[in-house]
């Protein structure tokens, strides 16, 4: 179904604009006062997850109009296209089959081949590698067991596995420690290597193209560290595993073919945590826990495919975000987890949403006619209360909030868990309720105490933080992003803006080798001035 580029010209969009104008005086407290069943009406349960949308500036008619908009874009057909392996990544003419990575059986055809058996076979190779490492059976070049694994990656090759490993670090293997290095500037890799024993350290070089400069410069530094420590004559075969779609480049670097794991071209980096990129998760938590993570995502996929749009959690989550982004003028959205185990989640979601939907061109190659992805930001909630909540409560910006909390956590003292949840619920209530000036005194002395309230939020509760529940949560966010892309008629699976930055960095690095670089007319005065300052500072 080919859509009009100008989504804002669709009748369903214009109906929402009129509806927004009619709700100028909508008040959240009044909505609750008028409807004792509002929480049940606007909250949805999925296994051990609860999504409470009731503190949003919506009513039943709002949701109906939003669903009408989604249906008018052919959303159901696009969901089918996504899961069946059609080339939904139109600029690269590829499918986007991160959902197939969660499957344990079945059939998904790509170029005439069923990719599911290959996925399962590679999963078994991940199992073999991870179990050998966890059992102390993977030996370094001096015969000592590997006890530290360092994942070298950036973006999707770092944030996804880092987020999951951080979430369950208290359940990690006691025999092998998993660390992450992503920074290009050298500080992180140098600081990490100082603490490690080269005889017992293995590096996972994780890059889909195996040309990502950030990752390869860290990998080369790691290789030279090993050579310097172990000697030039030592084999480094058991000190490197490669995860990439480029076996030739891995071999050129020195990764043994037996230690190579593939990434398929139909998996985008920010959607790759379910793939071989998740090897570090399997090593840290065990392959059985990684498979529970996959299972939770697969269950969320089933819900997304089979549930009517009016009760479909990621669809509703996406539509409410569009409601604020496109009809309330909210340019940002904040993510606030109230469980420290999820403190990497805002950064992960930042990449997922903004790299996917930060687009200004439609599937038809024309400029979009409305705003696309909002700016996603966030922080661990209790810390954020003492940092930027002031702006959320009394600032002039309209910022929709998503709170994420875990209901049960027996690993911490009960009073800590109770305080975290109490603060989460109180903050969502404070945003909604606000505070009037004392005794309606609107004097200059009292007005600083005034909180306008009526600020919307969604609360997502996990009964417990388990790999399965986290898998469902992340898969729902992926589907939310896809739904938004369908409505905006953009491609969420490419990232040409990222590629341009890489290209120019490579060109600049090469051009600086020319002694007459400062005379090149192709560079702007600012770039030349910055480089001149660095050169002078370095002499």
Q: Which of 149, 152, 150 is nearest to 133 (CA)?
A: 149
- Is 386 annotated as catalytic? yes
- Is 502 annotated as catalytic? yes
Backbone phi and psi for residue 378, each to the nearest 5 degrees, phi listed first: 165, 180
Find out whether 291 and 24 touch, Cβ atoms under 8 Å: no
How far is it, in rounded angstroms, from Cα 210 to Cα 378? 31
Distance, CA of 250 to chain centre = 26
Q: Which of 421, 426, 430 is nearest to 393 (CA)?
A: 430
Find out whether 459 and 55 touch, Cβ atoms under 8 Å: yes
Find out whether 459 and 328 touch, Cβ atoms under 8 Å: no
How far is it, in rounded angstroms, from Cα 202 to Cα 234? 14
Dihedral-angle region of residue 514 (phi above 0 means left; psi in -120 to 50 means alpha; beta otherwise): beta
Q: Which of 392, 249, 406 is nearest to 333 (CA)?
A: 392
Give me the catalytic one of 355, 379, 402, 468. 355
Within 13 A of 483's CA, how many CA atoms are on the CB side?
A: 27
Q: Which of 161, 129, 474 is nearest to 295 (CA)?
A: 474
SS3 336: strand
> Which helix (DSSP H) or strand (DSSP E) does residue 46 occupy?
strand 43-46
Give me the catalytic one of 386, 439, 444, 536. 386
CB burial of 120-149 (b: ≥16 within 10 Å; e: otherwise) equals: eebbebbbebbbebbeeebebbeeebbbbb
Both tokens of residue 211?
A: 């040309």
Dihedral-angle region of residue 153 (phi above 0 means left; psi in -120 to 50 means alpha; beta otherwise): beta
- Is 308 annotated as catalytic? no
3-state class percentages of the chain: helix first, strand second, coil last, to nearest 5: 55, 10, 35
Q: What is the DSSP letter of 403?
A: E
Find out whether 395 and 455 touch, Cβ atoms under 8 Å: no
User: Can you give the length of the chain in residues?
Assistant: 539
> Catalytic site residues?
355, 386, 502
């Amino acid at each position: 179904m080919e859509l009009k580029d100008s989504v804002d010209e669709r009748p369903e969009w214009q109906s929402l604009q009129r509806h927004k104008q009619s709700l100028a005086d909508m008040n959240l407290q009044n909505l609750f006062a008028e409807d004792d069943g509002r929480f049940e009406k606007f909250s949805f349960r999925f296994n051990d997850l609860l999504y409470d949308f009731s503190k949003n500036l919506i009513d039943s008619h709002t949701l109906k109009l939003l669903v009408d908009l989604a249906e008018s874009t052919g959303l159901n057909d696009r969901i089918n296209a996504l899961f069946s392996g059609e080339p939904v990544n139109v600029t690269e003419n590829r499918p986007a089959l991160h959902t197939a990575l969660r499957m344990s059986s079945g059939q998904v055809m790509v170029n005439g081949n069923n990719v599911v058996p290959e996925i399962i076979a590679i999963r078994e190779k991940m199992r073999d590698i991870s179990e050998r490492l966890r059992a102390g059976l993977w030996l370094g070049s001096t015969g000592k067991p590997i006890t530290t694994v360092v994942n070298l990656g950036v973006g999707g090759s770092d944030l996804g596995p880092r987020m999951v490993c951080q979430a369950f670090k208290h359940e990690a293997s006691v025999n092998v420690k998993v660390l992450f290095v992503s920074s290009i500037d050298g500080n992180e890799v140098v600081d990490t290597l100082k603490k490690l024993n080269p005889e017992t350290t293995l590096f996972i070089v994780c890059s889909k193209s195996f040309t990502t400069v950030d990752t390869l410069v860290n990998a080369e530094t790691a290789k030279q560290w090993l050579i310097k420590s172990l000697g030039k004559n030592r084999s480094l075969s058991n000190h490197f595993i490669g995860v990439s779609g480029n076996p030739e480049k891995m071999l050129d670097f020195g990764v043994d073919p037996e230690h190579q794991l593939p990434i398929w071209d139909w998996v985008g980096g920010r959607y790759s945590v379910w793939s071989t990129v998740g090897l570090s998760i399997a090593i840290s938590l065990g392959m059985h826990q990684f498979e529970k993570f996959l299972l939770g995502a697969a269950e969320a996929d089933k819900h997304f495919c089979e549930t009517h749009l009016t009760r479909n959690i990621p669809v509703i989550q996406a539509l409410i975000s569009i409601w604020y982004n496109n009809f309330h003028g909210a340019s940002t959205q904040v993510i606030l987890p109230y469980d420290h185990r999820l403190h990497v989640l805002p950064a992960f979601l930042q990449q997922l949403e903004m790299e996917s939907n930060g687009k200004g061109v439609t599937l038809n190659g024309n400029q979009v006619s409305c705003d696309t992805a909002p700016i996603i930001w966030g922080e661990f909630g209790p810390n954020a209360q003492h940092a930027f909540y002031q702006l959320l409560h009394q600032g002039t910006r309209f910022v929709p909030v998503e709170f994420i909390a875990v209901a049960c956590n027996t690993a911490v003292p009960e009073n800590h868990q109770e305080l975290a949840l109490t603060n989460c619920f109180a903050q969502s209530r404070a945003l909604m309720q606000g505070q009037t000036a004392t005794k309606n005194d609107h004097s200059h002395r009292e007005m600083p105490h005034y909180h306008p309230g009526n600020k919307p939020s969604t609360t997502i509760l996990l009964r417990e933080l388990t790999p399965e529940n986290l898998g469902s949560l992340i898969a729902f966010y992926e589907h939310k992003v896809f739904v938004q892309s369908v409505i905006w008629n953009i491609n969420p699976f490419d990232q040409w803006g990222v590629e341009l930055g890489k290209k120019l960095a490579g060109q600049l690095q090469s051009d600086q080798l020319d002694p007459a670089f400062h005379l090149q007319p192709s560079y702007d005065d600012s770039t030349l001035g910055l480089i001149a300052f660095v050169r002078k500072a370095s002499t």
